[in-house]
Amino acid sequence: MLRIVNQLRMVPEVARLAKLAPHDPVAAWEGYWSRVRTTGTHGEVLWDAEIGKEAEQYAHAVDTFMDRGLPIIDVGCGNGRWTRWLADRFPSALGVDVAESAIERAAAESTDLPTVDFSTLDLTAPGAGRLLQEEHGEANVFVRGVFHVLRPRQRKDLARNLRDIVGHRGRVLLTETNFRGNPLSYMHSLGARPGSIPAPLRRAIGGIPVPGHFGPAERRAAFPDGSWTVLADGPVTIEAVPMSGRTSTSIPGYFAMMGAR
Ligand SMILES: C[S@@+](CC[C@H](N)C(=O)[O-])C[C@H]1O[C@@H](n2cnc3c(N)ncnc32)[C@H](O)[C@@H]1O
């Protein structure tokens, strides 16, 4: 009961913050990344946590289903933390993001890594997948935390582009947050309380599109069974930066490894 009262008491502050976020998602992401000053465990970016513990959950699927001789494209790469992790496991890794400021930051954090590259691109735009396929050939795809911030129509557009990238040999590894409660209970689970919203969460509420959730049903809607084979999927834990005095912040998530039919 107290939890629900607390959540309701957060409404005015959350509504005031949410009004600040631009309606156009591209402008929102660019604005968000252009204002980021610090990344990493003690930084301002909610999802930019240490990789180790979370990555262990994907290792078996990567080893079993992905052709490690193909390059990999990190779709919606943000500041490139996972692109750098992928570059140690594949011949080359390309991070793409709709926000130019994210790409600039990713490149600045990745100097002296010869097999890592970054590019600004809206992966929901028609033809974006074909463009990447022409430049890089068939490739694997990694995507973390992008589908759950897209509307259903954009999710389908993105999945269609991924199909063009992977061709016959590439695979998609997607991993998304899948918190099934309402936005207020989600914020509460991340440590928000009336009058006290952790800074990384405050920046997200006031800057970027409202997140949804993404589980098996949402995956099936975006990646129809007629076009995709699911090789492995299941629940995972997504790590976010520590907030409200915690040593870590864990969010229920969903991962899927897929190939195109
Ligand atoms: C929640 S962040 C996740 C960043 C990164 N994948 C990670 O896990 O650290 C979502 C990212 O997707 C990018 N993004 C959103 N829509 C996109 C689109 N249509 N095409 C490419 N990138 C997009 C945003 O700019 C942002 O960097």
Pick the atom of ligand 1 nearest to 74's CA. 6
Separation of 131 CA from ligand 1 center, angstroms? 19
Which tokens belong to 27? 């402008």
Q: Are 213 and 178 in contact (CB under 8 A)?
A: yes
Q: What is the pLDDT of residue 228?
A: 98
Closest by CA to 117, choosing from 80, 66, 70, 163, is: 80
Percent residues over pLDDT 90 in the chain: 81
Amino acid at 84: R
pLDDT digits (tens, 9 = 90+) for 163-188: 999 999 999 999 999 998 888 899 98
Phi, psi of 236 (to 5 degrees): -140, 170
Pick the atom of ligand 1 nearest to 209's CA. 15
55 has pLDDT over 90: yes
Q: What is the pLDDT of residue 124?
A: 98
Cα–Cα distance, 237 to 235 (Å, whole number) = 7
Pocket-forming residues, ligand 1, beta carbon under 6 Å: 29, 47-48, 76-78, 81-82, 97-99, 102, 122-124, 144-146, 149
Residue nearest atom 4 of ligand 1, based on CA coordinates: 78
Q: What is the pLDDT of residue 1?
A: 65
Which tokens belong to 78? 């943000």
pLDDT digits (tens, 9 = 90+) for 198-211: 999 999 999 998 89
Residue nearest atom 17 of ligand 1, based on CA coordinates: 98
Phi, psi of 25 (to 5 degrees): -60, -35
pLDDT digits (tens, 9 = 90+) for 80-139: 999 999 999 999 999 999 999 999 999 999 999 999 999 999 999 999 999 999 999 999
Total number of residues shown for the chain:
261
Helices (H), the chain: 2-9, 11-18, 25-34, 52-65, 81-87, 100-108, 128-136, 152-166, 183-189, 199-205, 216-222
What mean pLDDT is predicted for residues 256-260? Answer: 98
Angle at 235 between CA 252 and CA 103, to 5 degrees: 65
pLDDT digits (tens, 9 = 90+) for 27-52: 999 999 999 999 999 999 999 999 99
214 has pLDDT over 90: yes
pLDDT band for position 5 (cuts 50, 70, 90): confident
Cα–Cα distance, 74 to 80 (Å, whole number) = 8
Domains of the chain in start order, with CATH, are 2-260 (3.40.50.150)
